[in-house]
Amino acid sequence: MGGFDYLAKRLLFAAVTVFVAITLNFVLFRTLSGDAVSALRCRQCTQAFKDYQRHELGLDESKWQQYKLYLNDLAHGDFGRSLRSQAPVTTEIWPPIKNTIAMVALGTFFSIVFGILVGVISAWRRGTAADKGGLWTGLAFYSMPPQWLGLLMVLFVAGALGLPTSGIKDPTLGILSDASTWDVFVDKMRHMILPALTLGLVLFGEYALVVRSAMLETLGEDYVLTARAKGLSNWSIVWKHGLRNAALPIITLIALSLGFIIGGSITIEYVFSYPGIGLAVVEAIDQRDYPILQGAFLLLTFSVIFANLVADLLYFKLDPRVST
């Protein structure tokens, strides 16, 4: 398969996936009971007022008409307006997304570095105490529900280290005296550490297990035995021959992790009351704010599809078997 054919097929598959995701994104949220008007917490709202609100929001239109308007708006780059605040969706979700990206990026970086390191050591020292320790540690963190691990962080780690357990900044910062840019940065990092560490530990287990499995398969190949027979150093065998040839599953995992970086982790953000996109989605579900939900899930879908497309292109570059 030539490079152009491979790229064309990947792009076509990504485009079809985007269209299917857009359609499902519209349909699924309309299957929820109620709407933004029925979610109003207003005891004095009359039926006439609710009917007027539905008309203003376009909720009295047929589902097909709403779908056509939805596609037309997306074609013009318009994600709609929040049913609750009437602000553009992009304006509503961009600040939470920025908070989530910073937190998830920090946690993902931690998991990649330590997960690959532990996985490589476990594979190279197979059967030793180092291998068993890395394997069981990875399994333990991988099997932990993120929200449960987050609660453990709140109960046992936050107090010991003096770290905040909610929010993204100290509400008193800058009130009594001017806060410098460095003070603001340090304060946000202190609020970000626990949720990022929780996410990083869960992903760390996944990385450690995948890297260990891929490295064990690679280290059993004939070319590794040949490298050992030639007297190459352990460093050269592990990092140049082993890890490089075990890179494909690792690239897939990294691509998926980066694809979900916008989506963040709803449960972790909920536990720590971290004002990211996950917490915004929970609030939008409670308020039946369809445009906010659709915008958030579409951005998550696009990021995952784009990350997978990048991984496919890297496959084509790194694995000669893909182009044959």
- Pair of tokens at residue 28: 């699924």
How much is the pLDDT for 245? Answer: 74
Where do the domains of the chain lie, and which CATH numbers do they carry? 95-323 (1.10.3720.10)
How much is the pLDDT for 264? Answer: 58
Tell me the three-class secondary structure of the chain, residue by residue: CCHHHHHHHHHHHHHHHHHHHHHHHHHHHHCCCCCCCCCCCCCCCCHHHHHHHHHHHCCCCCHHHHHHHHHHHHHCCCCCECCCCCCEHHHHHHHHHHHHHHHHHHHHHHHHHHHHHHHHHHHHCCCCHHHHHHHHHHHHHHHCCHHHHHHHHHHHHHHHHCCCCCCCCCCCCCCCCCCCHHHHHHHHHHHHHHHHHHHHHHHHHHHHHHHHHHHHHHHCCHHHHHHHHCCCCHHHHHHHHHHHHCHHHHHHHHHHHHHCCCCCCHHHHHHCCCCCHHHHHHHHHHHCCHHHHHHHHHHHHHHHHHHHHHHHHHHHHHCHHHHC
Percentage of the chain with pLDDT > 70? Answer: 85
In the predicted structure, residue 168 carries a pLDDT above the cut 70:
yes
Distances, alpha carbon 287 to alpha carbons 1, 51, 273, in Å: 50, 17, 18
* Residue range 179-213, pLDDT digits in tens: 778 888 888 889 899 999 998 898 898 889 988 88
| Region 219-231 average pLDDT | 76
CA 136 – CA 114 distance, rounded (Å)? 15
How much is the pLDDT for 318? Answer: 66
Q: How confident is the model at residue 114 (pLDDT cuts 50, 70, 90)?
A: very high
Q: How high is the mean pLDDT of the chain?
A: 80
Task: List Cβ neighbours of 322 (8 Å cut-off, separation of 6 or more).
Answer: 1, 6, 315, 316
How much is the pLDDT for 15? Answer: 85
CA 95 – CA 136 distance, rounded (Å)? 38
Helices (H) and strands (E) in the chain, counts: 15, 0
What is the pTM assigned to this prediction? 0.78
Can you tell me whether residue 22 is helix, strand or coil?
helix
| Region 159-185 average pLDDT | 79
* Residue range 292-301, pLDDT digits in tens: 888 888 888 8
| Region 27-53 average pLDDT | 68
- Torsion angle of the four alpha carbons 275, 167, 100, 75, in this order, in degrees rounded to the nearest 10: 20
Which residue's structure tokens are 């961009």? Answer: 94
* Residue range 242-291, pLDDT digits in tens: 777 777 778 777 777 776 666 657 888 888 988 888 888 888 877 777 77
| Region 70-91 average pLDDT | 79
Burial class (CB in 10 A: 0-12, 13-18, 19+), 37: buried
In the predicted structure, residue 136 carries a pLDDT above the cut 90:
yes
